[in-house]
Structures are given as C-alpha cells and as structure tokens.
Structure 1
Amino acid sequence: MSLLSERQKEELQKSILEYLHANNFTDAFNALKSETGIDYTPDPKAKYAGLLEKKWTSVIRLQKKIMDLENRNAALHEELSLSPAKRAALQTDWVPRAPAAYVLKGHRGQVLKVAFHPTFNLIASASEDATVKIWDWETGEFERTLKGHTRVVNDVAFDSKGNLLVTCSSDLFIKIWDVQNEWKNTKTFPGHEHTISSVRFMPGDQQIVSASRDQTIRIFDVASTHLVRTITGHTDWVRCVDPCEDGRLIATCSNDQTARIIDPLTGETKMELRDHQHTVEVVVFAPISSYAAIRELAGLPSTDRSNRPGAYVATGARDKTIKIWDTQTGQLLRTLQGHDNWVRSLVFHPSGKFLLSASDDKTIRVWELATGRCVKTVEAHSHFINCMAWGPQAPTDPTKANGAPGSGKAEPDKFVNVVATGSVDQTIKIWLP
C-alpha cells in the first residue's frame, strides 16, 4: 500500500519540477517531466513555488524539536533515577546530619587532626598514638598506617596536588611523606624546641609553615629542609597556623588569648586580634566565597579591596565562642555564642553561606554567616571533638584573586560534600549526604 495518495504524489512531483526549474536544472527538469508524464508549466506564482523548501525546513524544525524533547526526557529520567542521597551530594548547601555514614576505628589514642587528599578518596588522620592512618572515606576502609614519629602526632596536611603529606609531632620533628612512593618518609625537619602543634604547606608547596609550644612560627624550605625564617611575637604556646589563599598572610593563634595576622616574608605582625577570654584553639581564613555573607553579617559596605584573599578570619577558643574579624582593621565583626565547651575546630562551607564548628561539647554546629544564627546542631561523638575537615575542593586561582569581585571563587560544583571529624573517643566519623 502506497504511503502517498495520487494527489500527494502529484503535488510532490510538481513541487520538485518547480524546484528544478527555479534552480536551472533544465536537463533534470525535462527528464523528470517526461518520466512522470506530468504536464506542468512552471509558474513562480503557483502554490508549488518554494513548496519543497518549506516542507524541508519544517521537517528539520520538527526533528530538532523531537531531539530537544528526547534530551529533556533523558535528563528528567536521570534526575528521577538519582537517589535522594545522590541528589543531596549535588546540593551546594548540604551540611552534615546524623547519623555518620562511617565510624573509622583503629587508633589507640585520641584523633587530633584529619585531612582530605585533594583528588583521591583518601583521608589521613593524626593521633595521640604516634601514628598517622590512611583511610578510604568513600568505603570506610582502612588503607595503611604511617609510623615514624615517636610521640603524639598533632597535625597532618596534604600539599595542593596530594603528592606529599606533612605531619608534626610532640617529638619536635616535622616529617614529609611521599604519597606516590608508598608513603615513604622522605624528609625530616628539626628546628623547633618544643611540641609542634600545627603545620601547613604554603601556597605553591615550596615551603611549609609550623607553629609550636616554643612560642614561634617557623617557615622551612621543602626541597632543602632548611629553616627559612623564625617568627616571634606570641608570648605563649602557638596552637594553630593557617596561610591565606595567595600566601601573602598567615594567621596564628595562641594560649596568650590572641590571634595574629603576620606577613610571612618579613615576619612582621600586621594585626593582633584581641578579645577572647581564654586560649585561642583555632584560626582559619575565610574563603572569598563567604565575603558577601560576612559583609552582610557585619553591615560592611562592599568594597573592592575586600575581595582579596585574607580579608577575614574566624577564631574559636576555650571561652566557648567563635569570633569573626576584619584582618585589615583588626575589628571584631561578630561573636557567635552557642557551644557549651571549648571550640576546637572551624571550617567554612565551600558555598560561603555557612561556618561549621566542632567543640568539646561533642557537637558540630552550623552557623548561617549572613545572620550569625546557629541553624543546626549535630550530636556527633561520644567524647570531645578535636578536629573537623571538609572534603576536596577545586583549588581557586590565586593569580585572579586580586581583581574583580568574586574572582578566585571555587565553582559551586567543584567541591565534594563530605565532612570528617576526629575525637577523643579514638574514632573518625565520615559525614556523607
């Protein structure tokens, strides 16, 4: 059975003849005319003029429409097939909720620090038991133990590419472990005269910066292990050090109840932040993504200079408070109160909307930065929480961070929704969507 009626056939043939004639395909026109036996006189005003082209373009339009609908359909199917957990993993404002996805057990002492590998699904934990353990946070499986320190390991951090791991200990040594070479301990840095509390790679990974109970901050060259600079100023145990994103400033905090903003090139203290009533346990620079919310919280005007890395820091102390500061003026912008015990760890949410805190009151609290309100409390561990870390984030480009507002911001889809906490209860907990 023919798909076309006689009338449709004739219409099609006449429109083809009209097309051939209009485009001067004379031989083809004559051949088709004689083969079909149609008596047709071309007429630019006839209904057949341009009919073939019109039909052709409408077919293409329909095909495009069909393809668009099919793509939309596939996207909707994919969205439906995503489990709620997978959907949550894509949410840019996810925050931890109980229960934890995994409880990692194996340390024989309290867990003092946790650090995520920037690209692999690995986490490193430092413990009072003098070891560092490596775990797969996606499966909750234990990978290996790094032994080399002889006393408590106080801190652990990866370089930006995840090729090296740095640790520091109460044994007065800093060690570097080669991730790609079976995690071998390749370098050891002497230099401090007392417990080393905190260590970080400086941006660029050429240097490390450490803080110690000997009241100093020291900068070492990674390649040669030489001491580059000793920075003094604090009058008691220096608990924590945090370099800002472009490495032009470092923030430190101490048992002397102050935090300091320091120029690592000169060792000069740029600003002393003084308002806590007890030991300051933690200091952390705010990411550029959080600046708008912090300005809203403090009622500050939006100015160009404050889109540079290092404009604001948050501190947490044994006085149970969290404080947010302007590093250029030294002004205290807001005090966040709610914890019932020492504040031990602070992490800015990669979206810039929240600040997460962990405390000896065994909870994680989520603070909405724009309002300063505690919007969530998670009962997290059975004992004090020493540390907390957020999962891998795409490194921002510090070269762009001095210019336009919002530059240097990690894209919202470039961070992984996972949080790890470590506790006196000797466990690490992994919080997943």
Structure 2
Amino acid sequence: MTGTCDKRPQRERQQGDMPGSGALVEELRPVYPARVSGSAGCETWNVDFSPDGSRFAWSMGYGVVKVFDWPAPGDSNEKTLKCEDTVWGLAFGPRPPNWASAGRQARAKVPEKKEQKLLLATGLHNGTIKVWGASGGDLLFDLKGHQSLVRDLEFTPNGTLTLVSGSRDKTLRVWDLAKKGKNPQVLAGHGGWVVGCSVSPDSSMVASVCSSDNKVYLWSLRSYTFIRNLNKDDKRQVMTSCDFSLDGAVLAVGSYNSAGWSLDLWDPYTSQHLAFLQDCKSSDLIRSLRFSPDGLYLAFITDQSALRVWEFGQKTFALDAHTVTNELCCTFHPQGGIIATGTRDGCIKFWRIPRVVPTLSHICRTVVRFSVSTHQVEALPIPKKLVKFLTYKDLLTLFITNCLHLTCQEHLFWHL
C-alpha cells in the first residue's frame, strides 16, 4: 500500500494559531483508502531532517516512509520507501561532528574523510532495521538481532557510520554500518522496554530510558559498558524520552506519574539532579523532547495536545501552542527556526519558532563544557560564581510558580 500526501491551503493551515505562540507554516496529510484511514498503524511515530537540512523523512503510517527535499515536498525528487511493517524509529546518517567537536578535530589536524553516502535507517515493528540510500530510495541491507520492535534510532555525531538502536527487547545495540552491522555490541540490563535513547555530542556515551522504570541508563560507547543510573526517589516516575544538550553537560529527561508530566535536567557526569519543570495537570505525559541545534531551546510534546518550546534557563515559554492535536514526536531543523511534529493520524506539521542570537556567555560555556567535565571545572582555580555558571548550577536559583501562557490549573516548579 502506498500513501500520497495532501497539502492543505495556507490559510487553513494557520487557523487557530495563538498570537505570539509561533506559526504553523505547513501541514501535510497522508491520503489512504477509506477502509484503512484512521485505523491502527497510521501513526507518525518519528520524523527526521537530514544533517544538512536538505532532506526530510516522514513515517506516514502503514509501513510507508516518504523522503523529500526540504522545503519543497512533492517534487520530482520524492522517494517512497515501502518498509512492509510499522515504522517506529528512523534516523538519517552519518551525522557530522557539531561545530565544537569539528573545531577540536581541526586543531588536532585530523584528516578529512571522503564524502559518505546519505543513509536512512528505519526501525520496524518486527525488530528489523532497514538501511536505505536516502537519495535513491534503494534498500541497501537489513540489520537483524532485536527480538522486538525497534523504538528509537540515532547515529553517533562523529561522522562515522555507527548506529545506536533501542528496542522493546530491553536492549540497546550498537551497529557499525561500514561493516553492514555485523557483530553489533549489545547493551543489556534495562528494567523495561527501551523507549528512547540519545548519544552525547562527543559520542562517548549513550543515555536510554525505559517504560515501567524510573531510571535513566548511561552507557559507555568506548568500552560498551554500563556507567551509572540517574534516578529520582519517586518510584512512580516513568521515563519517556531523553536528549543531550549541545555540549553534553545537561541531559533532559521527560517523564510522568499520576500528577502529570515532568521535565528533569541532569548532570550526566555527577548524577546531580539540576532542576525540573513540572505540570500539575493529571493524566498528561511528555511524548518527545529535543534540544535545538544551538542549545538555546528545548522543545517537547505533551499528551494533552501541546507543543511547548522553552528557552533554556528562562522563565517563560518561547512557544506554547495548545492548538496541536495528537502529536507524537518532534525534531528541529539542523539550522534551527523550524520544528517538525508528527501526529497520531499520520500528519506532519512544520512550526516556525523565534530566532535568538546566542549570547557570548552561552557560546563560551558550550565550547568549554564540550571538552571539560564537571569534575574538571570544579577543580579549576576560578571564581565560584563562574564554576556555578559553567556547571549549570545557576538553574537552581530559578523558582517559578506561574508562567505566561499557562492556565490557572497549570504551574511550573523549579527544584531548589
């Protein structure tokens, strides 16, 4: 079965936007036969931009993935990938080093690698990972080994063909696609289904979160061994997603319990719980969260139809769109300014968010923290105020009980 996409008129796409909340700039809907439209299997569980932002992959339901040029969907370069099973995770690769690590490699005079072919990995319900040529839409090979559905995929951000996959079989697997995934490293020991994973910007570790578990798992990608758990005392807390900041010094984790959703910020080096953002609305959870490429924003999708974008360290949301419905996933464009979201009924939406020029202090902290751990910063002979800033402990000074754009039933709490 092959789906097509329907581009709705611009005027209709922008109806319902809240003033100052950001603009819905585009929405694409899949078109399927009436007998299957809206049934289980139509969900868009994942979307992704290519590392240079020129291509976009859309898991549009029923085992179909569309890959097209951004921002020109529906052109002659569109490819349809028939995966023959529900697609839960997808990721473009290889991912080049970010600007901090690229600068470090340049100083070390690491020779440049030849340009590699852009790949797209798709994780399926049957546990298979299919690896495609993203430009031609050709199936290159399958990766087999997971015993249950593959929920999340991520290439390491170091320019290599290393792919990390998380599965409901309670394992992470690390694949070398240069060797077509032969003899992957298996990271086992999770207490539940692996529902999300994130690789640190220096590719030294991977974080994973599980269903029915209140722990975050940190694993070494150098020795393929377990490092430590991050966990709160609340045994009712269930983790749903995670993502590293641009410099790797902060790990954001989305979770929920009977009281509502919670967004926790951790120091992965020391296991210190830095801060949390919490909503007291019951029966709500965070489905997906992502840091922006410049590290200035943290976007997350909640179950009660809200896309929120928080400017890191600020007291208000940069975007608080309550007009979204059935959203399941979100991701930033590599150059920022645009967020793509996928919905339960197979749609994708593109949102424009405010652009902010990074401050010099933000840039300096990011560059320093990419190369220097928390323990190393604390040992430096520098003023305590500067140590506090570099280790993100300045977040502990924030405390809010209310925020703009929230209803009277919703509150933000910062952990002190």
2:291 matched to which residue of 1? Answer: 348
Please report how far the alpha carbon of residue 380 of structure 1 lies from its aligned counterpart in structure 2 after TM superposition.
4.3
Query: Higher helix fraction: Structure 1 or Structure 2?
Result: 1
Report the counterpart of residue 217 of structure 1 in structure 2.
172
Give the counterpart of 1:176 among 97, 116, 131.
131
Deviations 1:393-419 (A, max 9, x none): xxxxxxxxxxxxxxxxxxxxxx24211
* 1:339 CA drift (Å): 7.6
Provide the rounded CA distance (Å) in 2 between the counterparts of 1:200 and 1:353: 21
Task: Supply the distance in 2 between the matched residues of 1:211 and 1:141 (Cα, whole angstroms).
Answer: 31
Give the length in aligned residue pairs. Answer: 293
Give 1:66-145 correspondences, 5 Å limit: 97-106=21-30, 109-141=42-74, 143-145=78-80
Q: 1:129 to 1:372 in 2, by over 3 A?
A: farther
Q: 1:351/1:118 Cα in 2 relative to 1: closer, same or farther (>3 Å)?
A: closer
Tell me, in whole angstroms, the C-alpha distance in 2 between the residues paired with 1:172 and 1:350. Answer: 30
Distance 2:311 2:280 in 1: 15
**More displaced stretch, 185-194 vs 203-212:** 203-212
Give the Cα–Cα distance (whole angstroms) in 1 for the partners of residues 143 and 323 of structure 2: 35
Shift of 1:265: 2.8
Question: Hey, what does 2:244 align to over in structure 1?
Answer: 285
Query: Structure 2 residue aligned with 1:330, among 271, 285, 297?
Result: 271
1:240 deviation in Å?
1.1
CA distance in 1, matches of 2:311, 2:192: 32
Runs of 5+ unmatched residues, structure 2 = 1-19, 32-36, 97-116, 354-416
Q: Are 1:389 and 2:331 counterparts? A: yes
After superposition, what is the alpha-carbon deviation per residue over 1:106-136, rounded to whole angstroms, capped at 9, x for unaligned? 1651111110022253210224411211244
List aligned pairs for 1:17-56, cutoff 5 A: none
Q: Say whether 1:198 aligns with 2:155.
A: no
1:243 paired with 2:199, answer yes
Aligned counterparts of 1:97 and 1:184: Cα–Cα separation in 2: 40
Which stretch of the first structure deviates more once superposed, 154-163 or 238-247?
154-163
SS of structure 2 residue aligned to 1:223: helix
Give the RMSD, CA atoms, in angstroms. 2.3
Shift of 1:286: 0.8
Preserved contact between residue 63 and residue 82 of structure 2 (Cα < 8 Å): yes
Residue 11 of structure 1: aligned partner: none
Corresponding residue for residue 82 of structure 2: 147
Output the TM-score relative to the length of structure 2: 0.66
Which of these residues, 262, 271, 278, is aligned with residue 228 of structure 2?
271
CA contact (8 A) 2:297 2:309 kept: yes
2:185 is matched by which residue type in structure 1? R
In our comparison, the structure showing a higher alpha carbon Rg is: 1
Q: 1:349 to 1:221 in 2, by over 3 A?
A: closer
Asked whether 1:185 is paired with 2:148, we answer no
The alpha-carbon distance between structure 1 residues 251 and 191, as it changes in their structure 2 partners (threshold 3 A), is: same
Task: Please give the TM-score of this superposition, normalised by the length of structure 1.
Answer: 0.63
More displaced 10-residue stretch of structure 1: 246-255 or 335-344: 335-344
Q: How far apart, CA to CA, are the structure 2 residues paired with 1:425 and 1:153?
A: 14
- TM-aligned CA distance change 1:317 to 1:372, over 3 Å: farther
Quote how far apart the aligned CAs of 1:139 are. 3.3
Give the Cα separation in 1 of the matches to 2:25 and 2:139: 31
**1:134 aligns to what SS in structure 2?**
strand
Partner of 1:229: 185
* Equivalent pair of 2:53/2:333 in contact (CA under 8 Å): no
SS of equivalent to 2:166: strand
In structure 2, C-alpha distance between the alignment counterparts of 1:163 and 1:283, rounded to whole Å: 25
